[in-house]
Amino acid sequence: MDFKGLISFLSKLGSNNNKDWFNQNRKEYEALRANWIGFVDELIQSIQAFDPAIGMLDPKKCIFRINKDIRFSKNKSPYKTNFGVIITHGGKKEIFSGYYLHIDPKEIFIAGGSYQPPADMLSSIRQEIDYNFEEFNKIVSNKKCCSLFGELKGNKLSRPPKGYDLENPAINYLKHKGFIWVQNFKVKELYDPNFQKTIVESFKEMKPLNNFINRTIGN
């Protein structure tokens, strides 16, 4: 993957976020996108080695379009200035937890877990945490995971959710509205030949959290 070329293109797009410039540079974008699809295909195969549940995914169903939906946005610039991919069972349109990679000129990070689960799924996750808190706490307190990702992130309620009280030993997690692990990288780390191997190793550490959340779907 030509990451230096990708960062250069996204930087220029950030300063020229309009259709005329994009159309003039479309061939460069299409070459980078083809390169990106190949990289994602390799990433999927690496993840399947430790998480076969994601299935035989088409990389095109995992990457995000560069065109923005500006219908309800104050910022009317037509293009995203990042490349992103979510590798999860069924592809990016499914609600399963998976493995996310975000690349832009200012921010490189990976993430796992569930960012903003819908209400019914959020209720199921909270119930699973409440019923199996010892298991969940062991996952999120794992020393290696804490060193890689820090504490579990996500927006939180200021008060306990309905049906739970302050004395519940899991209350700090039950207040969560999202359950995500994030690992940030510097741009120079993107250019390391071992970058793909590094993020795959981190994704592997995210699998227990994804498994815990995914088993709640349909409950």
| Tens of pLDDT, residue by residue, the chain (219 residues) | 889 999 999 999 999 999 999 999 999 999 999 999 999 999 999 999 999 988 889 999 999 999 987 666 677 789 999 999 999 987 777 788 999 999 999 999 999 999 989 999 999 999 999 999 999 999 999 999 999 999 999 999 999 999 999 999 999 999 999 999 999 999 999 999 999 999 999 999 999 999 999 998 854
Query: Please, what's the b/e burial string for 186-218 (b: 16 or more CB within 10 A of its CB; e: otherwise)?
Result: eeeebeeeebeeebbebbebbbbbbebbbebbe
Chain centre distance of CA 2: 21
Q: Which amino acid is at 64?
A: F
pLDDT of 71 reads: 67
Q: In terms of residues, how long is the chain?
A: 219
User: To which H or E segment does residue 85 belong?
Assistant: strand 83-87
Q: What's the pLDDT tens digit per position in 134-180?
A: 999 999 999 999 999 999 999 999 999 999 999 999 999 999 999 99
C-alpha closest to that of 83 among 6, 21, 160, 26: 6
Q: Please give the structure tokens belonging to residue 124.
A: 């199921």
- The owner of tokens 């250019």 is 191
C-alpha closest to that of 179 among 217, 125, 124: 125
Alpha-helical regions (H) of the chain: 3-15, 19-24, 26-48, 119-131, 133-140, 143-149, 171-174, 187-190, 195-214
Strands 98-103 and 83-87, bridge-based pairing:
antiparallel
Q: Please give the structure tokens belonging to residue 105.
A: 């000129």
Residue 36 DSSP one-character state: H
C-alpha closest to that of 157 among 168, 167, 172, 140: 172
Alpha-helical regions (H) of 52-180: 119-131, 133-140, 143-149, 171-174
The CATH number for 3-214, chosen from 1.10.10, 3.40.50, 3.10.450, 3.30.930, is 3.30.930
C-alpha closest to that of 215 among 97, 120, 123, 111: 97
Mean pLDDT of the chain: 93
Q: Which amino acid is at 120?
A: D
pLDDT of 48 reads: 94
pLDDT of 219 reads: 46
pLDDT of 72 reads: 64
CA distances for 173 relative to 137, 165, 190, angstroms? 9, 12, 32
